[in-house]
Amino acid sequence: MEKRWQALRRAGQSIWYDNIERELVRGGGLARLIEEEGVAGVTSNPSIFEKAIGAGGVYDDALLEAARRGKGAVEIYEELATVDVREAADVLRGIFDETNGADGYVSLEVSPTLAGDTASSIAEGKRLFEAIGRPNVMIKIPATHEGLPAITALVAAGIPVNATLIFSLEQYAGVANAYIAGIERRIAAGEPVKSAASVASFFVSRIDTAVDRRLPNDSPLRGKAAVAHSRLAYRLHKEIFEGARWAKCAAAAAPRQRMLWASTSTKNPAYDDLLYVNELIGPGTVNTMPPATLAAFFDHGIVKPTLEAGVEEAERLVERLAEAGIDLGDVGEKLQSEGVGAFSRSFGLLVGGIEQRRVAAGSAASRKMRIFLGPLAGRLDEIGRRIESERIASRIHGGDATVWKEDEAVGKSIRNRLGWLRAPVEMAGKLGEIGAAVEEIRGAGFRRVLLLGMGGSSLCPEVLRSVFDVKEGFLDLEVLDSTSPDAVRAAARRHAEPGETLFVVASKSGGTTEVNAFYDTFAERAPGDRFLAITDPGTLLEEKARSEGFRRIFLNPPDIGGRFSALSLFGLVPAALIGIDLEKLLSRAVTMAASSKVDSPVWENLSVSLGAFLAAAALEGRDKATFLFPGPIAPLGVWIEQLIAESTGKEGKGIVPVVGERFREADRYGNDRVFIHYRLEGAEDANLDGRAAALERAGHPVATITLADTLDLGGEFFRWEMATAVAGALLGINPFDEPNVKESKDLTKELLDRFEKEGALPTGEVAAKGERFRLYADGALDLPDGAGAAEALRRHLARAGEGDYIALLAYLPRNDETTGRLRRVGALLGDGGKNAVTIGIGPRFLHSTGQLHKGGPNNGVFVQITGGDGEDLPIPGWPFGFGTLIEAQALGDFLALERHGRRVVRCHITGNVAGGLEAMERALGGGRNGMEGGRSRG
C-alpha cells in the first residue's frame, strides 16, 4: 500500500522537517524519518536552536569544552549549530545525490539581526557556507528589502539560498526576481547554473492569525485568508517562471526556485490540524512541517492536488477582505517586521543562555570585590535587608518601575529607559552585522575615525580608545566633543586628508546641537559615503544619513538612555573599529548581568552590593565617591563620573564622583568621602594599594574591585549601570531622567536667539547684575596680569565649608596641556583643606556632572573658567560660529547655576589660555591662602 509521503512525492511535493537537534541527528531519528516517512530536507531557525540548545543535555559537554577553550557565547553557538547542520547534511547527502540537488538540504539562517544590512548578510552567508563545508546546505536570508540583493549575490556566488520570512505577494515577487538576477549573473560570468538551488519560504498560518484578529468572530472570512493567499502566490510563481525572462535561464539548464510552505502548523485549535498541508499540495513545492504536524499528516493526511484549485475563489476572498479594510500587503509587511524581531529575540536569548551556562562552568574571568565598611556597617546591614525583602534586583530586571517611583506617568518613562538591562545579550546578536561593517570599512581604505559626539554617545568610545591599543590593520579613533573653536580647528587639521578618515556621527536624539555643528563643519570637507551614523530610529540624523548617502547607519534600541549606552551600538561600533574583541567584551558584561539578578544574599550580587554601598555612604553624609585607578584603566573614571552624577544628582540629592583628584594623606580627607579602589591583575600598583590600605586604617569606607584584564571593562560598564540604578532606588530618585540638563540647553538657546537678533551675547548685561564674587572679562579679571584676581578668587573659595566640594568648570580647548594645567590648579585648591575638587571641561560636562551641579544638593562651590585665542570658527550655514556657541553655553550654565542659588564665580582668560592658567597657578601658589577646614585664617 502506498504511503502518504510517497503519494505526496508523486504529487510533486517534498516533505522537509522543521526541526533540528543533536540527538535527532546522532541518535538515528533523522535517518529513520528519511527512510520511513520520506523526509527530504531539514529547516532551522533561531527559535528552533534556542529550544534545542537551551534544553541542555546532549549539548552540555560540547558547550563546556568550547568554553574551556576560551570561546565566547556567539562562537559557542556557531560551533554547536554548524556541527548539527554539517552532520544533518551528511545524513541527507544520499537524498541530495539521488535527486540531483533538488532535495537533501539543511537550512541555516544568518543572524536575524542582519535583516536590514545587505553587505553584512552577504558576508555572513558566504562565511557560514564555507565554515560548514557541505554542498547541501542552504543559507537562509530574510526577504527584507535589504535581503533581496543579498539573495542575488549569494545565488550568483553559487551558494544555495532559502529566502525566508515571506508574507506577501510583493515580497515573493521580489524574492523570485532576486533569484533570477543571481542566475543571470552566473550566466553572464560563464558560470554553470545547473546545480543552482533555492527555495522561497512563504509563511502561511500567521496570515490567518493576523487577519482573524481584524475580523468579527462570526465572519465567514475567518481562517480562509492564508490558503487563498498561498494559492495566489503559487499562481504568481508560475507566471514568473513561465515568463520570457526565466526562459533564457531555463535554456541554460537553471532549475526553478521552488516555493516552500512554512509555518504550516495550525495555530487556531478550531481549524483542521492539517489545513495548511492538505490544501497546499501541488507540483514543484516543499512543505516544511514541525514534528506534530508531520505526525498528524502520517496519521490522517489527505493527498490530492489542491494548490491550483479555487484560484478564482481565492481572488474573490482577497477582494472581500479589502472591502473589510484588510490589505494583505500591509499585513505581510507587519508580519515580516514582527518575524525578524521574534527571531532576533530568540537569537539574543539563545546567546544569553549559552553565556550563563558558560559562566556557571567557571570559564569567565573572575571579578573580585572586597568592601571595607568602616562606619557604614549599620546602615549597610539595614539597606541589605531592604534589598532582599523588597526583591529590588529581580524587580529591576523585571522592569518594575515602582522600584524608583510610584507615579504611573513617571513609571512609563522609566520603563522606556530599561533597554540597557537586555543590551549585553541582545547586542550579541548584532556582532555579525558590526563585524561585516568593519571589514567593509577597512577594505575601503579608511585608517582613522573621528567620532563626532557629546556625552553618552562619546564617552565610552573615548574610554575604550584610551585603554586599548588599536589592533593592527584597524582604525585609530579620536573623539571630538568640544565646541571650542581651537579644538574643532585642531581636529580639522589632524583630519585634513578626509579620504583616510571615517566620520562617525553619534547622537541618540539625532538633534544634539553640538553634534549637528560638528557634522555641518566636516560635511563640507567630505562626501556622505565617508560618514557613519549611530542614532535612534526615526531621528533627524537617520533621515539626514539616508538622504546624504552615509556609508552605514546603525539604529540603536530606543529604550537605552545615552549614559547607559556603553554596551549598545554607541559603544560597540567604535570599539569594533579599533579592533577590540567584542565577543569577549560582551561576554564579561553578560556574566555581570547574570550575577546581578540575585536578590539574596545581596553581598553575592557584585552590582547591587556596590549600589548599596554608594547609597549607604550618601545617606550617611559620605556623598563624595572618590576613585583610585591604576594608570591603564584610569580613563574609565570619566564614564563612571557621567553615569553617577547625571543619574543621581536631582531632587536636592546626589552622589558626587571625584575622579582624577591628586592623592592626599589619609587624614586630609573629610568624613564626606567614600572610596572605590581599582586593581588590575598584571599591572599591580603597590603605591596605590598602599594608599587604599591607609584609607581603611583611617576608618574610611573602601570598595576594592579587582579586574582580571582590560576586557573586564565590559563587566564594569554593566556593574556600574546596575549599581547606579540601585543607588537611585535607595535614594528615592529617578536615575533615568536629566531635568536640569535641558534647563541649561534652553538657556543657551535663548542666548543664541538673542545673538541672532542683536548680533552679540549679553555678557556685559549679565555682569552688570553685580555680585561681589563674580569676575568678568570686561576688566574685572584678566588672569595673565589682572591685579587683585588672586585675592578675589581666594575670597570666593573661602565660601567652601565642611562637606562642600569645589568644581572647576572650564570652557576651554580640551587637550593634554590644558588638562594638565587644570589638574595642577585643582591640586592647589585641594591643598588648603579637606574639600573634594572636581574638574569638568565644557561643554561636555553639561551632559554629565552639569545635572548634579544644578539638581543635586547645594554643596558645590563653582569656578567657571572661559577663554580662547579670540579667533572664531564659522559653522557652515549657521548664523554664529563655534566661539559664540561655546560662550553661550558657558553663560547659560552660569545663569542656571545662579538661578539655583549656587556659589559661582566666572573667570575669563583673555589671550593665551596656557598663560592664563599658569597665572592662576601662580595666584594660588600658596594653596587657598592657608585655609583650613574650609575657613580662611586671614
E-state strands within 606-720: 624-628, 656-658, 673-680, 702-707
Beta strands 285-289 and 367-372: pairing type? unpaired
DSSP-based three-state secondary structure for 106: strand
Taking the C-alpha atoms of residue 107 and residue 105, their distance in angstroms, rounded to an integer, is 6
Taking the C-alpha atoms of residue 231 and residue 307, their distance in angstroms, rounded to an integer, is 6
Taking the C-alpha atoms of residue 110 and residue 87, their distance in angstroms, rounded to an integer, is 18
Is residue 140 among the annotated active site residues?
Answer: yes
Taking the C-alpha atoms of residue 257 and residue 162, their distance in angstroms, rounded to an integer, is 9
Question: Beta partners for 554?
Answer: 534
Rg, the chain, Cα only: 32
In which residue are the cell numbers 550617611 written?
620
* Displacement of CA 892 from its chain's centroid (Å): 32
- 255 preceded by cis ω (within 30°)? no
Given a contact cutoff of 8 angstroms between Cβ atoms, the answer to whether 387 and 599 are in contact is: yes
Q: Which element (helix H / strand E) includes 731?
A: helix 713-731
Q: Which phi-psi region, left, alpha or beta, contains residue 3 (left: φ > 0; alpha: ψ -120 to 50)?
A: beta
- 735 preceded by cis ω (within 30°)? no
Give the chain's largest Cα–Cα span: 112
Question: Beta partners for 260?
Answer: 201, 286
DSSP-based three-state secondary structure for 545: helix
Number of helical H runs and strand E runs in the chain: 38, 22
Which grid cell is 92? 541527507
The residues, ordered by sequence, that sit 6+ positions from 18 with a Cβ below 8 Å of its Cβ are: 42, 43, 44, 48, 262, 288, 289, 290
Which grid cell is 792? 578675589
Given a contact cutoff of 8 angstroms between Cβ atoms, the answer to whether 873 and 882 are in contact is: yes
- Taking the CA atoms of 48, 49, 53 and 54 in sequence, report the sign of the dihedral they define: negative
Give the length of the chain.
Answer: 938
E-state strands within 684-747: 702-707
Given a contact cutoff of 8 angstroms between Cβ atoms, the answer to whether 580 and 541 are in contact is: no
Given a contact cutoff of 8 angstroms between Cβ atoms, the answer to whether 702 and 692 are in contact is: yes
Which grid cell is 135? 554542498
Q: Which phi-psi region, left, alpha or beta, contains residue 501 (left: φ > 0; alpha: ψ -120 to 50)?
A: beta
Beta strands 702-707 and 367-372: pairing type? antiparallel
Q: Residues 71, 140, 650, 854: which is the catalytic one? A: 140
DSSP 487-541: HHHHHHHHT--GGGEEEEEE-SSS--HHHHHHHHHHHTTS-GGGEEEEE-TT-HH
Catalytic positions: 140
